[in-house]
Amino acid sequence: MALIEGCKHSLDIHIPAEAVAAEIEKVVEKVRAKAHIQGFRPGKAPASIIRSKFMGDIRQEALENLVPQYLEKECEKESLHVVSRPNIKDLHFHEGEAVHFKAEFEVAPEIELKDVRGLRVTYSEPVVSEQDVDERLDGIRESRAQFVNVDPRPAVDGDHCLVSLESLSGIDGEQMKQDDINIEIGGKDTFQQFTDALRDAVPGDAREAEISYPDNYAAERLAGKTVRFRITLKQIRLREMPELNDEFAKDLGDFQTIDEVREEIRKSIFREREHQAQTEAKNALVDRLVEMHEFPVPKAYVDNQIESTVENQLRSMQAQGVDVSKIKLDWSKLRESQLERATKDVKASLLLGKIASSEHLHATQEEVDSEVQRIARQNREPVAAARMKLEKDGRINNIVNRIVTEKTLNFLFEHAVKEAAPAETPAE
């Protein structure tokens, strides 16, 4: 009989005395074949001696064989899909008698899927303006700009000054020296003190400036400090951007005219914005999906989700050079802080899986092969080697799951009712 509470189940299981006795005999014979008993060759010692010397181990092994076997039989009979490690309690075992025990575990929840076609979601096709194209094109020009030296003259705003820096004070126990540093006078990323010091300077001049760096400054040895520098101007340069013409277009690749470049930029911006807008819409649909369905979530699933999230975070930190071995995790606090998010993620995953199953969405071999080839190209290794590594690590299943999930999200989006966002009321 199964006692049910949410995803938690409890079974009272009975193993007949004759089954227990038969299993004990099997284990006795197994031990007898290997045991070294003084005065007897292996396999020749009487069973009574084997029992008297090894009965504790024999009983333990017999139970380890019988308990999972009878638990599995009972779960199959009850059509239970166990998702957690069973907790065996109240086990009673007496020689010559039946064995009784209680097994507590979690099972996958039963989900009654509602109609997921026609869900409403806010979405509008992205719009790309001429200004958007101009700004992207200016960025490309900026990346291809060149510095041109100018004859010696007083530096003015907009000039790019090639300087050497030498710290005079503010950095404890060390002096900072840097050559060939580019400073744009009046530039948006230039400290005002540098601009004031270099304005009107000519090559060869040495000026001083005191810079107060913010606490979150990227260079740690300067963050939060006030440093006085000697600045020696070496060269004044102008930054020249290429002209927007057909020659510039040809330099960018397989283009003949600047209009072709603008059209490709327009398409690129549209694809980026479309992907972002659809991702936001799909996330909103998943949120709606979770809201629509109420069902219990196994604690085992939630704990696995939290562990996976933490492992990914630690891997990311390690990739950034953090020594994760020094990080002490308080699992109880961690679980409490991530419980709500993890529970929602698990529910979303279960629902998407249910939709994929009901709509017969699956990953084709061609799609999996294509992803393996992409990973191989990215890692610059043979496809066969990449596949072997992915199969060994079990990541082929991750690829399959990712493809199916993306297909399911596309299904939801394609069958959703898209509504434009309400127009913003202009401020009075």
Calculate the dihedral angle through the C-alpha atoms of 20, 26, 28, 30, rounding to the nearest 10 degrees.
Answer: -150
Q: Please, is 266 exposed, middle or buried when counting C-beta atoms within 10 Å of its C-beta (0-12, 13-18, 19+)?
A: middle
Q: Are 28 and 51 contacting, i.e. CB atoms less than 8 angstroms apart?
A: yes
The domain made up of 146-240 has a fold known as Chitinase A; domain 3 (3.10.50)
Phi and psi angles of residue 136, each rounded to the nearest 5 degrees, phi first: -65, -40
Helix (H) or strand (E) holding 176: none
Total count of residues recorded for the chain? 428
Residue spans of the domains in the chain: they are 2-106, 111-145+252-294, 146-240, 359-428
- The reported pLDDT for the residue numbered 387 is 92
The domain made up of 2-106 has a fold known as Alpha-Beta Plaits (3.30.70)
Q: Are 174 and 193 contacting, i.e. CB atoms less than 8 angstroms apart?
A: no
- The reported pLDDT for the residue numbered 324 is 76
- The reported pLDDT for the residue numbered 426 is 55
Give 90's contacts (C-beta < 8 A, 6+ positions apart). 100, 101, 102
Q: What pTM did the predictor assign? A: 0.75
Q: pLDDT tens string for the chain (428 positions)?
A: 455 567 899 999 999 999 999 999 999 888 888 888 877 877 788 888 888 888 888 889 999 999 999 999 999 998 899 999 999 999 988 878 899 999 999 999 999 999 999 999 999 999 999 999 999 999 999 899 999 999 999 999 999 999 999 998 887 767 889 999 999 999 999 999 999 999 999 999 999 999 999 999 988 888 889 999 999 999 999 999 999 999 999 999 899 999 999 999 999 999 999 999 999 999 999 999 999 999 999 999 999 999 888 888 888 888 888 787 777 878 788 888 889 999 999 999 999 999 999 999 999 999 999 999 999 999 899 999 999 999 888 889 999 999 999 999 999 999 999 998 776 655 55
Structure tokens at 143: 């990346």
- The reported pLDDT for the residue numbered 174 is 77
Q: Are 234 and 203 contacting, i.e. CB atoms less than 8 angstroms apart?
A: yes
